[in-house]
Chains A and B, each alone.
Chain A
Amino acid sequence: MRMQMRSQWSIAAALVAVAICAAGFNGSNPARAAEMVTLNLYISGDTNIFDLWKKALLPAFTKRYPQYKANMVELLHGNGSDGIYDKILAAKRAARTVDVDLWETEPGFLDQGITDGLWVKLSEKLVPNIAKVPVHTLEAADYYGLPYRGSSVVIGYNSQFVKNPPSTFDDLVAWIKANPGKFTYCDPNTCGSGQAFVTAAIYRYTSPDKFASKAYDVKEEAAWGPGWKLLKDLQPAMYNNGFHPNGNVAVLQLLAQQNIWMASVWSDMGLDWYSRGQLPKTMKFMQITPPLMGDDSRVMVPAGSAHLEGALTLINWLLTPEAQTMIIDVVAGYPGIDWKYMPESVRQKFKDVAKPFAPWPNPKYLADIKRLWHEQVVGGAP
């Protein structure tokens, strides 16, 4: 899958190209219309994301910009990401260009790369469509990573049995108690949707931002006490007297088999299953207030990219409503741009889930949440 031809562009030429792009940029590409340029994309993720790029985004992009070809390298679940990072770093140290033009990967590499000065700092000048992206998501990565799509944990429910779905977290808790055995969430060790529900209970009594930054202080975890109590009280009302299956899929399976009527699920997984006929036709999804956690997927452009202009063209195109609609259609993801820029029909279809999401706790807190959940919530009577 490696590209055969290597380009010989120097950084200077790339910067000049960028300047030209920035000046006359709205999709056309006068300066390099004659040469075919092959862009190298490295995408880390799951098969559905690879399909999104290979089958939807890239064909549409190359059709819109025929002077570009795209070569995509798949890193399933991030396998091989270390090697890519090292490659980019080594190229920077040697003051050479690197044949990585775009990289979608885990946040850890984004952060590390910022420290090492590896990424292009994005701005409206370089990427005009960035104006459509909500500012706080750009600021979260200091404008180095572009959040082009997202996914959120939402509440999935079977409307055949649930006539009046709850709209707030407190309503949800009340519903669970009123309908014992019909709700569950997966073990937070094994899935994000379970972590989202558990964290929502914790966030009910304390501020999410305290735990989302890099700081870590074990003493802060005392604030989680009320959350644990809430979850423990809910245990008898959970499916099977407090059983939490392993993995996102197990919960979807329970919904599909009508063992439960409502659960916290990832929006893209839920909608994907629904579209494949794996869930009953009466399934619906919605976001509660305050919203459950979610995640942005970001792409970075290495500053030493050999085809900087092409890379910036690509990510600018990624932010068009046309590309963003594909994200919704193909992987049921959230758009990276603000919902208000999406076509009306799309906004109507997703009005129940189209809300912002809560931030994720940092890895150290998350590890403790998992451990304490096992001790405080499912660990038996104190």
Chain B
Amino acid sequence: MGLALVLPPRLVLIFLIILPAITAVVETLRPPGGSGFALTNYAHILGNRILRSDIRFSIVVTVVSVAVTFSLSYPLALYLRFNTGRLPALLAVLFTIPLFVPVVIASFAMITFLVNHGMVSTILYRLGIERFPALVYNATGIVVTEVWTTIPFAVLILGAGLQAIDDALIDSARDVGAGALRTFVSIILPLNATPTLITLTLLFIGIFGSFTIPYLVGGNAPQMLGVTMTNYLTQYLRRTESVTIAVIAFIIAAAVGAIYVASVGRRERQNL
């Protein structure tokens, strides 16, 4: 009975995600103009200096974005967990706002805000500061916008994990004289480990595979893989290369995804 109920979404999943993914992989394993299986396409992509640089760039930008988001979100989640009052309530509304802004709009808004001779730059110019660093159309712009759009997500998951930590545990730690930092390191961090891992891995996968933000806010080169593979498909008219890049992106994300699946699986087993 249960199996019958889960069948419809399962079929959609197979049809829309698994089948295309498998078709894609199979297509890329066929060498150009030949038959049988070979890794020619992958050698071609990985042998291309520009594409290697794009892969490196994607990983670095993603790691930096995840790190920044995480270091902003955890304190925010902690603050909201342990404080009540008007300010925390306001903060709680504030941080959810980016969740409701479509990514296209967020990117565009960030550009008008941070571009040279945009809002911030004009304000500083009026205050006498004429030189303004290049904050958009480069890796910095991508990181800032990714952080902006992913903070709510991270705070929500970390916050949910913190919510599950009993107040009694915190209190007893304080009763034996532990300071805030000690409590955090010894009690909170370990108990919140699974949501933390989930946050980090989902952030990585989401940012690594993003398209809109690097497309609108990024520079010309190097580019994030999402933009590269779309360009190969729609601009350079090279579908096989495009799909090969997609599979390479899958593999990198899957390595991180494996961590995510393992940690969720562990939590699932705790819940069942």
Question: Within 8 Å by CB, do A and B touch in the complex?
Answer: yes
Report if A243-B235 is in contact (Cβ < 8 Å); known contacts: A374-B50, A379-B53, A380-B53: no
A307 proximity list for chain B (CB < 8 A)? none
Quick one: CB contact mask for B230-259 with A, threshold 8 Å, 1 for yes?
Answer: 011001111000000000000000000000
| Best-surrounded residue of B138, B221, B223 (most CB of chain A within 10 A) | B221
- The answer for the CA separation of A367 and B138 in the assembled complex, in Å, is 24
- Of the candidates B117, B137, B221, B232, the one whose C-beta lies within 8 Å of that of A379 is B221
7 A-B pairs with CB atoms under 8 Å apart are: A189-B235, A240-B116, A243-B220, A257-B117, A258-B117, A370-B231, A380-B53
Interface positions, chain B 187-234, Cβ under 8 Å from A, are: 215-216, 219-223, 231-232
Assess whether A244 is in contact with B117, with CB atoms less than 8 Å apart.
no
Name the distance in Å between A13's Cβ and chain B's nearest Cβ.
46
- The answer for the CA separation of A325 and B232 in the assembled complex, in Å, is 42
- The answer for the CA separation of A379 and B49 in the assembled complex, in Å, is 9
- Of the candidates B50, B221, B223, B235, the one whose C-beta lies within 8 Å of that of A367 is B235
Minimal Cβ-Cβ distance residue in A for B112: A253
Q: Is A170 an interface residue (CB 8 A)?
A: no
- The answer for the CA separation of A363 and B134 in the assembled complex, in Å, is 34
Q: Is A137 an interface residue (CB 8 A)?
A: no
Q: Is A187 an interface residue (CB 8 A)?
A: yes
Main secondary structure of the interface of A (DSSP, over half): loop
Assess whether A370 is in contact with B236, with CB atoms less than 8 Å apart.
yes
- The answer for the CA separation of A378 and B49 in the assembled complex, in Å, is 12
B236 proximity list for chain A (CB < 8 A)? 367-368, 370-371
- The answer for the CA separation of A42 and B157 in the assembled complex, in Å, is 53
Name the distance in Å between A182's Cβ and chain B's nearest Cβ.
13
- The answer for the CA separation of A374 and B219 in the assembled complex, in Å, is 11
A244 proximity list for chain B (CB < 8 A)? 220
Minimal Cβ-Cβ distance residue in B for A376: B50
A374 proximity list for chain B (CB < 8 A)? 50, 220-221, 223, 231
Quick one: CB contact mask for B169-187 with A, threshold 8 Å, 1 for yes?
Answer: 0000000000000000000
Interface positions, chain A 175-195, Cβ under 8 Å from B, are: 187, 189
Report if A379-B134 is in contact (Cβ < 8 Å); known contacts: A243-B220, A257-B117: no
Report if A259-B116 is in contact (Cβ < 8 Å); known contacts: A189-B231, A367-B236: yes
Quick one: CB contact mask for A120-151 with B, threshold 8 Å, 1 for yes?
Answer: 00000000000000000000000000000000
- The answer for the CA separation of A378 and B221 in the assembled complex, in Å, is 6
Q: Is A166 an interface residue (CB 8 A)?
A: no
B53 proximity list for chain A (CB < 8 A)? 379-380
3 tightest A-B CB contacts, nearest first: A378-B221, A257-B117, A371-B236
Interface positions, chain B 113-144, Cβ under 8 Å from A, are: 116-117, 134, 137-138
Assess whether B137 is in contact with A240, with CB atoms less than 8 Å apart.
yes
- The answer for the CA separation of A259 and B216 in the assembled complex, in Å, is 19
- The answer for the CA separation of A189 and B203 in the assembled complex, in Å, is 29
Number of interface residues of A (CB under 8 A): 23
- The answer for the CA separation of A242 and B116 in the assembled complex, in Å, is 15
B232 proximity list for chain A (CB < 8 A)? 371
Q: Is A246 an interface residue (CB 8 A)?
A: yes
A371 proximity list for chain B (CB < 8 A)? 231-232, 235-236, 238
Assess whether A375 is in contact with B50, with CB atoms less than 8 Å apart.
yes
| Best-surrounded residue of B50, B219, B220 (most CB of chain A within 10 A) | B220
- The answer for the CA separation of A126 and B244 in the assembled complex, in Å, is 54
Q: Is A245 an interface residue (CB 8 A)?
A: yes
- Of the candidates B48, B50, B117, B237, the one whose C-beta lies within 8 Å of that of A380 is B50
Interface positions, chain A 317-365, Cβ under 8 Å from B, are: 363-364
Report if A370-B137 is in contact (Cβ < 8 Å); known contacts: A379-B50, A380-B53: no
- The answer for the CA separation of A367 and B117 in the assembled complex, in Å, is 33
Name the distance in Å between A46's Cβ and chain B's nearest Cβ.
20
Interface positions, chain A 190-244, Cβ under 8 Å from B, are: 240, 242-244
Minimal Cβ-Cβ distance residue in B for A240: B134
B231 proximity list for chain A (CB < 8 A)? 189, 370-371, 374
- The answer for the CA separation of A246 and B222 in the assembled complex, in Å, is 14
B48 proximity list for chain A (CB < 8 A)? 375
Assess whether B235 is in contact with A370, with CB atoms less than 8 Å apart.
yes
6 additional A-B pairs beyond A258-B117, A380-B221, beta carbons within 8 Å, are A242-B220, A368-B236, A370-B236, A374-B221, A379-B49, A379-B53
Minimal Cβ-Cβ distance residue in B for A372: B236
- The answer for the CA separation of A158 and B71 in the assembled complex, in Å, is 45
- The answer for the CA separation of A257 and B235 in the assembled complex, in Å, is 29
- Of the candidates B50, B134, B215, B237, the one whose C-beta lies within 8 Å of that of A246 is B215
A378 proximity list for chain B (CB < 8 A)? 220-221
Name the distance in Å between B40's Cβ and chain A's nearest Cβ.
18
Assess whether A245 is in contact with B137, with CB atoms less than 8 Å apart.
yes
Name the distance in Å between B245's Cβ and chain A's nearest Cβ.
13
Quick one: CB contact mask for B58-72 with A, threshold 8 Å, 1 for yes?
Answer: 000000000000000
Minimal Cβ-Cβ distance residue in A for B237: A367
Minimal Cβ-Cβ distance residue in A for B222: A380
Name the distance in Å between B223's Cβ and chain A's nearest Cβ.
8
A245 proximity list for chain B (CB < 8 A)? 137
Name the distance in Å between B172's Cβ and chain A's nearest Cβ.
56
- The answer for the CA separation of A189 and B216 in the assembled complex, in Å, is 13
Quick one: CB contact mask for A252-277 with B, threshold 8 Å, 1 for yes?
Answer: 00000111000000000000000000
Assess whether B221 is in contact with A243, with CB atoms less than 8 Å apart.
no
- The answer for the CA separation of A67 and B238 in the assembled complex, in Å, is 52
Assess whether A246 is in contact with B216, with CB atoms less than 8 Å apart.
yes
A246 proximity list for chain B (CB < 8 A)? 215-216
B237 proximity list for chain A (CB < 8 A)? 363-364, 367
Minimal Cβ-Cβ distance residue in B for A245: B137
B215 proximity list for chain A (CB < 8 A)? 246
B221 proximity list for chain A (CB < 8 A)? 374, 378-380
